[in-house]
Structure 1
Amino acid sequence: MRSPPHTIPPEDHPDTVMDRAPTPMPHRGWILVALMLTMSLAAMDITIVATVIPQIVGDLGGFEQFSWLFSIYLLAQTITIPIYGKLADLYGRKPVLIGGSAVFLLGSAACALAWGMVPLIVFRALQGLGAGSIMATVNTLAGDLYSTRERARVQGWLSSVWGVAAIVGPTLGGAFAEYATWRWVFLINLPIGLAAIFLIARYLHEHQPNHQHHIDYVGAILMMLAGSAGVFALLQGGNAWAWSSAPSLIAFALTAGLILATILRERAAAEPIMPGWIWRERVMLGSNLGVLGMGLVMMAPGAYLPVFAQSVLGLGPISAGLVLASMSLGWVSASAWSGRLYLQFGFRDTALFGGVLMLLAVLGFVLLPPQPSVWLVTADQILLGAGFGMLSTPLLVGVQSTVPWHQRGVATSANMWSRYLGQSLGAAVVGALFNNAVQTSLANAPATLADTLPSAQDVMTALQAGSESLAVHQYLLSVFDGATRQVYVGMIAAAMLTLMLVLLVPKRPRVLEET
């Protein structure tokens, strides 16, 4: 049984120097640029691809399969994050990040050459396998290169990539779709990724422990199978089949069996992919469960706010995207500012403050007037982003600051994996809440409108077409407005649960390095 990381005497670690403080390294600015470029590949991928789906379907066909372009990418990325994190601890961050980025670029080039929807889906899975390395390793490297005092500022810079991507992605995608071809949304990754790989290869020189390792291949395979089954069950439940149907029950039963087999294997492995102390230590447990809850809440605006903005507020696609992107303004600012707070008040209390802001934001959306002003929605988004930034950064930095170098990859990847697992759960939860609210409202419609209302699947199409009568249009607006608010009501419960989970984090955990 492995000891908790903060109880191991520093002299027993092979990396004692790096445990105490980040090793000064020249050209840290260029390395940070490389990390931001690499992060932009993963950050921009979903938004830029989403804008060219009509063109892809028009060219390749396969309308009934296009949702897999997103599902398979998310699945491949999520299940590989813990494995890349372990490999980064065993062999160093540099080879793992360069290798994963190369896989992502290979997948991008293959997607650009796809001749059908099925090959494109397969190549998207290859992209996702590379994206798992990016998400696991970029934040780990930031923890290696910067001290506890500096990490909040650096996380602010990395978070800004997501905000920029939320604006640049749809704009570039729309431009490629209108003036060139959808294939350029994948080709654009090549110059960005190659520049990042060059900078990492040129400027990153890291210390690596020189001893023999044993990779737990069986554990890695079981973990991938368990993650695949679980995420697949969440993505398909409520969409391809009902939650209570036989396929859904079989998928979740298979997931439970694979999780049990993984736990048993990891307990017996000499160097497990995800060690038990990740879930026994209060710092790790509270932080990982906290960001899991945050990931769940993130899916409410991510999935339904742009559609709400277009259908209820009457905005165009670009304006709706900007409303969603406004969340990044609060996120980046709060993430950078959180460093001052967690150095004064501690990681847990700063994260709790972020959780309170998150709760106020989701509550504020529910209390907005019918068909609210776009400025009120934008202000609420900025507040929500501030809550996310103030919550996620202290939890991530706290995890990184309480473990030594050779455990930081595992600890960081577990934190990132938890967030993406939360988003997968959130996709299922918000979808169920929204669909149930729409169906209930249509079933309870006034008798004078009942025969003229579209089905639940066609509400969005009818709103955008605007061909129905004024009375029907107004009722559909109220249906969509009410369903979106119902999603946020569910997120209030998720935000409150997140606050309780963050309380598991010790008030003053022991930090292994100088600040």
Structure 2
Amino acid sequence: MSTSTTRPTRSSVGLRSERGPILLAVMVSLSLVAIDMTILATAVPSVVKDLGGFEQFPWLFSIYVLATAVTTPLYAKVADRLGRKPVMIAGIVAFLVGSLLCGVAWSLTALIVFRAIQGIGAGAIQPMAMTIVSDIYTLEERAVATSYVASVWATAAIVGPTLGGVFADYLDWRLIFLINLPVGAVALWLLRHFREDRRPAADPQAIDWAGAGLLTVGGIALLLGLLEGGHAWGWASPVSLAIFALGLGALVAFAFVERRAADPVLPPWVLSHRVLAPANAASLIVGVVMLGLTTYVPLYAQSVLGHSALVAGFALAGMSIGWPIAAATAGRIYLSRGFRTAVGLGALLVLLGGAVLATVGESSSFWHLAIPCFVLGLGFGWSVNPGVVAAGSAVDWEVRGVATGSNMFARSVGSALGVALFGAVANGLVRSEYAGGEVPPLEALPPDVLAPALHVVFLVGLAVSVPLLVVAWRTPVRIRQD
């Protein structure tokens, strides 16, 4: 597999003078996903009050993550066959259809189903955004272009919760989903500037349908088991065991099929590529750690330190702001000092932020949570974003979608692993305190029980971050280009 990249040409990505509108189209498209990740959380009480089904509401998030994760590799492969534009448009349309249906949902069950449709659309938008940026910009130009893309996430970290709160408290929570319709229309209109060479349509008989089906079944089963097994069914329950057996069996079969497929949907070389392997490993680790922070930092702020939900959200917002800042500045580091240095600095910051967070106590201030979260956000940005850029630069157009998609897929799998790992640690420690008696929900536990459990959770997050140093060491210093 080639480790060089084909520079953008007029014939492959359209007029170079039109790259600005193309980048704007990418940013607007990505804003659909970025804002959606934060806008719903603040409105959950209003949604549940209107539709009922409190026990089901975690599925609003789990089903979205699940649908996004399992479809990402499939979209990435199709984009390498048919081009980025049709896949991006299909993703936006699916996301808008899901948003419209969410806006008219008549029950929480219906809303959960329609959130899955949104997730199916998001599975195309996220990898295509970074793949298109890699297509139309050289490595040096991409350092600047990715800073604009990163600003979308920084803006979403502030705009999303604010809009969600305003819609839920003063207007109607359904606007959380309906607001996507005009934004998506603008994205589709801007994409008219994106012209790429038509690739011959793939022969339906040549598509790796068996591999795609096995990956979908295995991915859904494994991620579903990780997302819900710890609290919905229990790890040792027959349901969990059956789901994990199905997932592992399908993935083992997938591995055998891919070794023999003429054009595999997720090629085995992705796992051993000198650039993609460390980049994907960094995304996997960050996905694990970030999920733990997103879940348990606000819980610590509210249930142990006694802050309001709004203040707890601000503590976590430091991470959401730190990541885009790092992504916007990472280019200066990897262009001057190399990719290994950028990822190494990110790993050190993650360890520093995690170490400070692990010292938080019951008498700690708000800033004792917020500052390490900001440092961790910087570390995440410098650990992951250089790898995404390197992955898009290290392969040719024909496999760039798969390269970028595998990175996004790794982060999604990491998030699911984080749910399982941190949930098992927190719940296991709490159960040991109640000696077999009835255990209250985490948010209802007294601080003297919850604080020690979450302290161990933060220590586990720090331990999981240590392999980032190995990933940095394995990251190439430079990426050779034609």
Q: Post-superposition shift, 1:210?
A: 4.4
The residue number in structure 2 matching 1:363 is 355
Q: Post-superposition shift, 1:327?
A: 1.6
Q: Post-superposition shift, 1:262?
A: 1.2
Q: Post-superposition shift, 1:211?
A: 7.0
The AA in structure 1 aligned to 2:3 is H
> Following the alignment from structure 1 to structure 2, what is the Cα–Cα distance between the partners of residues 143 and 109?
31
Does 1:262 find its partner at 2:262?
no
Q: Flag structure 2 segments of 5+ consecutive residues without an equivalent.
A: none
The residue number in structure 2 matching 1:402 is 394
Q: Post-superposition shift, 1:71?
A: 1.2
Aligned counterpart for 2:197 among listed residues 201, 207, 211: 207
Does 1:460 find its partner at 2:443?
yes
The AA in structure 1 aligned to 2:179 is I
> Following the alignment from structure 2 to structure 1, what is the Cα–Cα distance between the partners of residues 364 and 164?
29
> Following the alignment from structure 2 to structure 1, what is the Cα–Cα distance between the partners of residues 145 and 439?
44
Q: Flag structure 1 segments of 5+ consecutive residues without an equivalent.
A: 445-453, 463-475
Q: Post-superposition shift, 1:219?
A: 1.8
Matches within 5 A, 1:261-410: 261-410=253-402
The residue number in structure 1 matching 2:118 is 127
Q: Post-superposition shift, 1:16?
A: 7.5
The AA in structure 2 aligned to 1:6 is T
Greater Cα radius of gyration, structure 1 or 2: 1
Among all aligned residue pairs of Structure 1 and Structure 2, give the percentage whose two residues are the same amino acid. Answer: 42
Indicate how the Cα distance of structure 1 residues 440 and 398 shifts in structure 2: closer, same or farther if over 3 A, else same.
same
Q: Post-superposition shift, 1:22?
A: 7.8
Q: Post-superposition shift, 1:443?
A: 5.1
The residue number in structure 2 matching 1:6 is 3
1:31-83 Cα deviation digits (max 9, x unpaired): 22222221121122232222222222222222222221111111111000001
Q: Post-superposition shift, 1:341?
A: 1.5
> In 2, are the aligned partners of 1:18 and 1:404 still within 8 Å (CA)?
no
The residue number in structure 1 matching 2:431 is 439
> Following the alignment from structure 2 to structure 1, what is the Cα–Cα distance between the partners of residues 174 and 91?
22
Indicate how the Cα distance of structure 1 residues 100 and 17 shifts in structure 2: closer, same or farther if over 3 A, else same.
closer
Indicate how the Cα distance of structure 1 residues 323 and 154 shifts in structure 2: closer, same or farther if over 3 A, else same.
farther
The residue number in structure 2 matching 1:252 is 244
SS of the aligned residue for 1:229 comes to helix
Aligned counterpart for 2:25 among listed residues 27, 34, 44: 34
Indicate how the Cα distance of structure 1 residues 440 and 156 shifts in structure 2: closer, same or farther if over 3 A, else same.
farther
Aligned counterpart for 1:503 among listed residues 445, 461, 473: 473
> Following the alignment from structure 2 to structure 1, what is the Cα–Cα distance between the partners of residues 313 and 438?
27
SS of the aligned residue for 1:326 comes to helix
The AA in structure 1 aligned to 2:348 is V
Aligned counterpart for 1:78 among listed residues 64, 69, 73: 69
1:67-108 Cα deviation digits (max 9, x unpaired): 211111111110000011111111111111011100000011
> In 2, are the aligned partners of 1:334 and 1:386 still within 8 Å (CA)?
yes
Say how many residue pairs are matched.
480
SS of the aligned residue for 1:83 comes to helix
Deviates more, 1:495-504 or 1:422-431: 495-504
SS of the aligned residue for 1:76 comes to helix
Superposition RMSD on alpha carbons, in Å? 2.4
The AA in structure 2 aligned to 1:377 is L
Indicate how the Cα distance of structure 1 residues 211 and 118 shifts in structure 2: closer, same or farther if over 3 A, else same.
closer
Q: Post-superposition shift, 1:24?
A: 6.1
Does 1:103 find its partner at 2:86?
no
> In 1, are the aligned partners of 2:13 and 2:195 still within 8 Å (CA)?
no
Aligned counterpart for 1:167 among listed residues 154, 158, 163: 158
Q: Post-superposition shift, 1:369?
A: 4.5
Q: Post-superposition shift, 1:174?
A: 1.7
1:2-22 Cα deviation digits (max 9, x unpaired): xx2328xx8xxxx77659x98
> Following the alignment from structure 1 to structure 2, what is the Cα–Cα distance between the partners of residues 230 and 58?
32
SS of the aligned residue for 1:503 comes to helix
SS of the aligned residue for 1:52 comes to helix
> In 1, are the aligned partners of 2:73 and 2:409 still within 8 Å (CA)?
yes
Indicate how the Cα distance of structure 1 residues 29 and 322 shifts in structure 2: closer, same or farther if over 3 A, else same.
farther
> Following the alignment from structure 1 to structure 2, what is the Cα–Cα distance between the partners of residues 167 and 484?
26
> Following the alignment from structure 1 to structure 2, what is the Cα–Cα distance between the partners of residues 285 and 232?
25
> Following the alignment from structure 1 to structure 2, what is the Cα–Cα distance between the partners of residues 152 and 370?
42
